[in-house]
Structure 1
Amino acid sequence: MTAVPDVSAIIPTYNRRELVIRAIRSALAQTREVGEIIVIDDGSTDGTDAALKAEFGDRIISVRQANAGVSAARNRGMAMARGRYIALLDSDDEWMPEKTARQVDWLDAHPDFGMVLCDVERVDIEGRPIDRFRRREVIREDGWVLPMVLQDPALAPVSAMFRREVHADVGGFDETLATAEDLDFHLRVASRWQIGVIEDALARAIRGHDGLSSLSRTYDDYTRVIERSVKEAGDRVSEQDKARALAAVYLRNARGAIFANRFRDAWAWTRKASRTSTDSRIRSSGRATMMLGLKRMALNLVGRSKS
């Protein structure tokens, strides 16, 4: 058995032959060597397996399985990992050269913390900048961040590095969730471990192509995750923060219903939000949601009259 690596990179992929090769290259190009790169090919039919063998040989561990979804693929990779730290790298993302070094150094310097995140540059398929996912906008200070994360649990998996003990403690990704599995994982880690942030963009993510991130999200999963996390938070989160988190997800559902032209559902979600929290920001967001719905209804009526 070889020495335990510092970092195990976990890369799930499905029918992204060209993209996953780029992702792996970014892991191999780290200024601090990634000791173990585990690729789980989740039933690809585009020649991914042969392409990886031809390109990388034994520099990576490549496992092929029947298609079971991204959570199952990540979980299999994490179960195989031997590294002190585990880092996630989806096949349509890539790491900047300093990511491994910066995050390992941070975790080594903060032994009481379980996970460290970084900012992420989001680009289109041509590499043109879209925006920057800034973690400090939600996690305002390092430490026990559950009350903050509960308000906005968005997690870019490519941003995360965590101790193998975190995985042993909280488990992997919830395979029963069709979507929002990353949010659920983030919340479960935040409920049991301290989390920190490096305020630099150490990763890049492609958006607006046919990957997982562009699939239509199911609001049921998002709601299920938040409601479950609120229930399990206990006295670690104030009742006010719990109510605000629930109301925020109900308003998110309302906005989604508006753009689907399901106005009756939108009004129902908005009313539920207003009954859940009296916070002034929630009330203001509720009014804005109502105005958005009314404008959308008016545009629909105008469209029908012209047709």
Structure 2
Amino acid sequence: MRIAIFGKQFDPAFDEYCLALFRHLSLTGAGICIYKPFYEFVSGIPSIKLNPDSVFKDHADLPECDMLFSIGGDGTFLDAVTIVRDRPIPIVGINSGRLGFLADVSKDELPSALNDIFEGHYKVRQLDLLKLDTHIPAFGELDFALNEFAVAKRDSSSMITIHANLNGDYLNSYWADGLIIATATGSTAYSLSVGGPIMHPASKNLIINPIAPHNLTVRPLVVPNDFDLTLRVESRGGSYLVSLDSRSCILEESIELKIRKADFSVSVIERNGKTFYSTLRSKLMWGADRRN
């Protein structure tokens, strides 16, 4: 088995868990290829000695492997998606911090999780993504998002107006600070923080969720994820902010935005007994009551 390792810098409190991870991989005889910046960071930790088979720098440089371990938080997991892209490499999210929906393997359960994975006690689940089309290469090759697409005003004063069409039919003109288009996976991210619903990751839907709308009757809307959404933005400043997950850029209001389901999905590892419902209970503290 060959494992790719992707990650970012972490706090010293995670050193011993990272060491345990690499020791476990060594004991299984797994081949290791590691993201170069992460390798350089880990090499500076005295207790960790690594001798990987190879290093990689980006998507084009990533060798063939059986799965990729993302070490960090959900932001690191989203960056790992930009490394894997459309390749059939399942991602395992190992959380080196606190809260994490995508990076759902906590440091305390790391030994048992590794045993489950190497013993084959898991299934591979596919997650849908969004794709942004514009007449200019706003995001280059990284024109997709796992969690959400968002458009927002650039300053702290005036709202923007977002004219939205679904499958060619006029939907609404949102007077708001912005608009979020979230996948089912992204329903527990940015969209949730502005009052959006939680959707099961297997749901084939999108959430259209305004940010601080001027009309309080405008609420989040759930639509099938094979619908095409077209947005045209008006702003007093003539420009606005657009983001795909953690990547953002500034666009002029003359640019039309087309959002649709991406042509590929991302593979993730789901361990047996680890369900979306158990993640909700753990991460959102559902059922955390002295009486339980």
Higher normalized strand content (fraction of residues): 2
Q: TM-score, normalised by structure 1?
A: 0.31
